Amino acid sequence: MDDLRDRYLGLIAEAGDEAGIEDLRVRALGKKGEISGLMKTLGGMSPEERQEKGPKLNALKTEIADALAARKASLADAALEKRLQTEWLDVTLPTRPARQGSIHPISQVTEEIVAIFADMGFSVAEGPQVESDWYNFDALNIPGHHPARAEMDTFYTHRAPGDNRPPHVLRTHTSPVQIRSMEANGAPIRIICPGRVYRADYDQTHTPMFHQIEGLAIGTDITMAHLKWVLEESLSAFFGTKVKTRFRASHFPFTEPSAEVDIQCSWQDGTVKVGEGDDWLEVLGSGMVHPKVLKNAGIDPEKYQGFAFGMGIDRLAMLKYGIPDLRAFFESDLRWLRHYGFAALDVPTLRAETV
């Protein structure tokens, strides 16, 4: 038994890898191993022999198992030490640059505009994007024959045969929010309504889904002069320069009188510069809220009057940041976002200094 012990301890000490250790374990302690075979002979021994040899065989089995485990751990330690000698990490090196997220131009411009109008006392109002025909058209004094109500311009929700409920649409503007807000809060009121709107159009300057912000101010003595001041102050704060406006007579079913609003600009090398030059660029529509709209919203037009305006957030972002194609807002490639510097939110206010 001593010879067997010495032989296996020698073989274990000479084993050079884990495969060799496993081979020795099987030869010594496996089902058909030498030591396992000796353990099986205990059953055929007399009680006296079993009492004498049993403890010795158990001690041999334990010693060989411990030697195998110790040698296996020693080999693992040696392999790790070898790796540590050949593989190393310089912890003094600077970290790899990590890309930072960017605020989307639409989100940034929306926050900028909201902050500007908040300084003027306007609160933000929101409403559903799927609207009834009443809120999207009828309450806004848009007649049934108006082109905006055609399916080629408006997305109508599907109706099953026999479903005679009034039609619903993806809202074509955020004006329904004005109606809902006047119904809920009455007058006086001063709100802006940012949000997604939908129209069946798609080209370089139009997309089926875009973003709009509308404003509404209702009181007892509000005039077009207030509208002009609000628009010039807000546009000057947004573009960071003094902006002159020009009102051109127009027609919208929901305002009377109505005006298209142009801003002073110049064109240099195909790029528009706002606040200078002899050219004009149309940016929004506006006017005094039509008495029928006030009445439809539950407000007495004999007592209250006010103005409303609407502009495209996407278009304002294009003008301010020089983005040439509206469709770029919906691309998944973020490189153009970084190209235009959208890495942090810088919100202008009315208190920002203009030149």
pLDDT tens-digit map of 123-149: 999 999 999 989 999 999 987 777 766
pLDDT at 50: 74
Task: Enumerate residues 6+ apart whose C-beta is below 8 A from 55.
Answer: none
More confident residue, 219 or 209: 219
At residue 28, φ and ψ (nearest 5 deg) are: -95, -45
The answer to whether 265 touches 276, Cβ cutoff 8 Å, is yes
Instruction: Please say if the pLDDT value at position 352 is more than 60.
Output: no
**What percentage of the chain exceeds 90 in pLDDT?**
42
pLDDT at 149: 67
Residues 130, 197: Cα–Cα separation, whole Å:
10
Select from 189, 186, 169 the least CA-distant residue to 128.
Answer: 169
Tell me the per-residue pLDDT of 107-125, one tens digit each, with 9 for 90 and over.
889 999 999 999 999 999 9
The answer to whether 146 touches 137, Cβ cutoff 8 Å, is yes
pLDDT at 344: 46
Select from 199, 122, 112 the least CA-distant residue to 154.
Answer: 199
pLDDT at 329: 60
Report CA-CA distances (Å) from 290 to 101, 271, 284, 286: 44, 37, 18, 11
Tell me the average pLDDT of the chain.
84
Burial (0-12, 13-18, 19+ Cβ within 10 Å), 278: exposed
Report CA-CA distances (Å) from 37 to 21, 26, 33, 156: 19, 12, 6, 86
Residues 72, 54: Cα–Cα separation, whole Å:
27
Residue 14, annotated ligand binder? no
pLDDT at 281: 92
Highest mean pLDDT among 9-23, 132-146, 286-300: 286-300
The answer to whether 213 touches 311, Cβ cutoff 8 Å, is yes
Select from 186, 223, 220 the least CA-distant residue to 297.
Answer: 186
pLDDT at 354: 43
Task: Enumerate residues 6+ apart whose C-beta is below 8 A from 46.
Answer: none
Q: What is the mean pLDDT of residues 160-181?
A: 91
Q: What is the mean pLDDT of residues 220-224?
A: 95
pLDDT band, very low/low/confident/very high, at 90 (cuts 50, 70, 90): confident
Q: What is the mean pLDDT of residues 224-246?
A: 95
Residues 103, 341: Cα–Cα separation, whole Å:
9
Torsion of CA 104, 228, 262, 296, to 10 degrees: 80
Is beta strand 189-198 parallel, antiparallel or unpaired with respect to 209-219? antiparallel
pLDDT at 335: 60
Residues 68, 37: Cα–Cα separation, whole Å:
18
Residues 25, 27: Cα–Cα separation, whole Å:
6
At residue 308, φ and ψ (nearest 5 deg) are: -145, 155
Select from 32, 31, 35 the least CA-distant residue to 66.
Answer: 35
Q: Considering the domain 105-340 in this protein, what is its CATH number?
A: 3.30.930.10
Select from 233, 200, 201, 227 the least CA-distant residue to 214.
Answer: 227
